[in-house]
Structure 1
Amino acid sequence: MTGDPLESETLLRAMFGAEGHLWSVGTLSAFMTPDGTGTPGYGPSGLILGGARSRTRLRPGARLLAFETLSSDPRGWNHGIALSLPGAAGAASGRVRRARDYDPIDPADAGRPVLDLGLGQGPVRALFRPATGEALATEGLTWEEAAPVLAALPGEWVIDTPVLRLERAGAPPHCVPQARATGRSHAETTPLPPGLIPVAHVFPPHPARQQPGEPVGFDSTCHARFQAILARHGRPDLWALKAEVVAQLAAGRFEPPATDRHAATVVRVALRQHAHLHGPPPRAWTERFDRPLARALEGGG
């Protein structure tokens, strides 16, 4: 993870609104996705991207963590970039209360009453900004009780963080109930260092698929682009491990490294990418680290 905030901000601005880049704002307790692509513009409160039903604001300050994880496809993998801040998540209260919103995207909305949905973790708040006073009657209800009532009323759902804010009409935030109960903010497969909480994610274009379940011909340029991001913004120890595995594969060596959960994932992703770039990796590697890949290669699946 690079410590250069200017470099991180330049990268985020380039991806903000770019075609094929999927964004998610929030934690597992409450998250939403914007619908806008195009050229963002500077407003009075930050860099703003408008969509048909949403507005998103980007501000500097996030620490970036690029990562790769395994997918359910035995030949595939996922990749993304977590926008993180110092802090801890903690369990969300799950109870609706009245609040004020003093930092909206449009300054004209400052100070309007909102409902805090009780789904926030750490620096993340999940809000509903009602268009009428009727929604305020849900104060004190649990999220499960309030959600269907609020979904039928006019207003905007808001996921607010210090670095990214999304205001959206329509469907309420997604919520993973187990994560809300346990206080988990992100998937265990994300190799986030201790002391950080991811408040948003961006998923750049994937070199081997259009979206999950829709494979495309492998795009080596797209692959190289994300590897450059991973080299600068991934965990240094995991990037060094991946570079060593790639070098061993290129040299025909098999000196298996010691691995924990995240390191084993790095090795498996490197093997799957090798299969796309150069053909099947040596069987010793797949038998040791990735038997699902070995079976897929044997069966042509």
Structure 2
Amino acid sequence: MPLDANDREILLDALADPASAWSLGAFGAAAEFRRGQDEPFATLEAGRVGLRTARGGVVLTLIETLRPVAYEMPVGDGWSHAVALCLPATSLVPPARMGFTDFGPDAEALDPTRREAVSFDLGLGLSPASVRIRTDRPAALDRLRAHRGSASIDFDAVIRPELVAGGADLVVAGPLGRIEMLGGAGDASGPRAFVVPKILLRRLTHLATAPIPVGLVPVGHLYPPHPCRDAAGRAMPFERARHDAFQALLARWGDRDGFALKAAILSGGPRPAQAADRWVRAIERVAGAQAGYLAHSR
């Protein structure tokens, strides 16, 4: 089913919510954007859906083939939740350029003052995303240009030092938009980025435990606020409204059989006939983790 007006409205509402976070990229190389509750921000020019802060920004392209997939996963004694932003695998094509490539000035930069800065593609060869470093500092430009054409770049040895020094930005751009992390290493309270070569070598599209339908590839994620954890991942008192809000997303964008099974477990009613595979066991664990919170929130 193509993305409809209601889907778009839900995603735009989440974009306006500072308690939600976004990521774009591939499994093993991605950027995440979040902002503080009272952090100043600016909207983008007309025609661009997104926002930016002094630490970074996000712009989204809500194309019709976007398929949101909501899911929950057991984590220890609790659970995580997310909405995978997926595209058909057949719509993703290999990048036109391989190797460390000088793109020149970044005309698409979210902050107009960064559009003269030069962008370099790391040449990771990923269909879901182009991972880039951007700078306007002469010394940094000289160091990066020395690597042009290299088939592979040591992220920790070449890229991370430029980011930590504060003179370069990291940009992840793909079919659903871009996320920028400005001038620093990033942290859990704001924009941050991940490039993990060991994971990239495996060429996986997602965790095997994530229930992504066959034929779809996650190219980003929406992380709505969790009912038991704050933005930094710290435990907090259970917020029933947050839980109910994600259950509505799960009912709309999640696996219907799994949603029905969890509802049956929590209600104590008869369970649908399903084989006890790993997906069923995961739902059972999530239901068990949620049951205590729900019992005390009625």
Q: Normalising to structure 1: TM-score of the pair?
A: 0.77
Q: How does 1:82-161 map to 2 (within 5 A)?
A: 82-87=84-89, 95-99=99-103, 103-105=108-110, 113-131=118-136, 132=138, 133-134=141-142, 135-141=144-150, 142-144=152-154, 145-148=157-160, 150-151=162-163, 152=165, 154-161=167-174
- Partner residue, 2:189: none
- Partner residue, 2:203: 183
Contact 2:120-2:133 at 8 Å conserved across structures: yes
Q: How does 1:173-252 map to 2 (within 5 A)?
A: 173-210=193-230, 214-247=234-267, 249=268, 251=269
Q: Calculate the aligned-residue CA RMSD, in Å.
A: 3.2
Shifted more, 85-94 versus 10-19: the winner is 85-94
Alpha-carbon distance, 1:236 to partner: 2.5
1:65 to 51, 66, 69: 69
Contact 2:94-2:127 at 8 Å conserved across structures: no
Give % identity: 28
- Partner residue, 2:188: none
Give 3-state SS (helix, strand or coil) of 1:216's partner: coil
Alpha-carbon distance, 1:80 to partner: 0.9
Give 3-state SS (helix, strand or coil) of 1:210's partner: coil
Contact 1:185-1:197 at 8 Å conserved across structures: yes
Q: Does 1:275 align with 2:295?
A: no
Alpha-carbon distance, 1:104 to partner: 4.2
Give 3-state SS (helix, strand or coil) of 2:146's partner: helix
Look up the equivalent residue of 2:32 and give its one-letter code: T
Contact 1:242-1:267 at 8 Å conserved across structures: yes
- Partner residue, 1:20: 19
**Aligned in 2, Cα 1:44/1:162: closer, same or farther, shift over 3 Å?**
farther
Alpha-carbon distance, 1:10 to partner: 0.9
Distance 2:7 2:216 in 1: 16
Structure with higher helix content: 1
Give 3-state SS (helix, strand or coil) of 1:83's partner: strand
**Aligned in 2, Cα 1:270/1:40: closer, same or farther, shift over 3 Å?**
farther
Give 3-state SS (helix, strand or coil) of 1:214's partner: coil
Give 3-state SS (helix, strand or coil) of 1:147's partner: helix
- Partner residue, 1:31: 30
Distance 1:255 1:57 in 2: 41
Shifted more, 106-115 versus 2-11: the winner is 106-115
1:264 to 281, 285, 292: 281
Alpha-carbon distance, 1:121 to partner: 2.2
Contact 1:207-1:218 at 8 Å conserved across structures: yes
Alpha-carbon distance, 1:56 to partner: 1.2
Distance 2:84 2:252 in 1: 13
Deviation string for 1:110-167 (max 9, x for gaps)? Answer: 7975211123522311111231431222223432153245434733211001213112
Instruction: Specify the structure having the higher radius of gyration (Cα).
Output: 1
Alpha-carbon distance, 1:193 to partner: 0.9
Alpha-carbon distance, 1:36 to partner: 3.1
Give 3-state SS (helix, strand or coil) of 2:158's partner: helix
Q: Which runs of 5+ in 2 are unaligned?
A: 186-191
Contact 2:28-2:197 at 8 Å conserved across structures: yes
